[in-house]
Structure 1
Amino acid sequence: MEKVIKIEGMTCQHCVNTVKRALYSVEGVSHVEVSLEDKLAKVSLEKDVPFEELKKAVESFGYKVVGEV
């Protein structure tokens, strides 16, 4: 299972690493790929994780999740 989320506010590789760390902290996330250029995170899941949980994890670090793609 995979979810793709659109994220605003990432400006550098440090931001990408922070978003990855935030998403990996969510139980059920098995792999994360973040594109700074596309402002997207592809999240592979071991189980169904609500979008709101992923959003909350990313936004707790100061980034804005604008939706699921």
Structure 2
Amino acid sequence: MIEFELPAMSCGHCVTAVTEALHEVDPAAGVEVDLARKRVQVESLQQRERLARALSEAGYVPA
């Protein structure tokens, strides 16, 4: 399980954008978003750096 803290994530639209960005990298990824804590957990075979890059490109730079 890979976890990211995403300070810029603040609404339902953000949750959708984060989920879509991660699924573009790994369509089979398991994504759990905790909007209140501004965290996302990802179950994926992709490397952490690749997932972090996808989040950053979507505008949600991991802290």
2:59 aligns to what? 62
Letter in 1 for 2:50: E
Structure with the larger strand share: 1
Task: Quote the residue 1:23 is aligned against.
Answer: 22
Q: Is the 8 A contact 2:10 2:38 kept in 1?
A: no
Unaligned runs of 5+ in 2: none
Q: Which amino acid is the alignment partner of residue 6 of structure 1?
A: E
Share of identical aligned residues, percent? 32
Greater gyration radius: 1
- TM-score norm. by structure 2 comes to 0.86
Q: How many pairs are equivalent?
A: 63
Q: CA RMSD in A?
A: 1.4
Q: Give the residue type in structure 1 aligned to 2:13.
A: H
After TM superposition, what 4+ stretches of structure 1 lie above 3 angstroms from structure 2? Answer: none
Consecutive unaligned residues in structure 1, runs of 5 or more: none
One-letter code aligned to 1:30: A
- More helix per residue: 1 or 2? 2
Q: What is the TM-score when the length of structure 1 is the normalising length?
A: 0.80
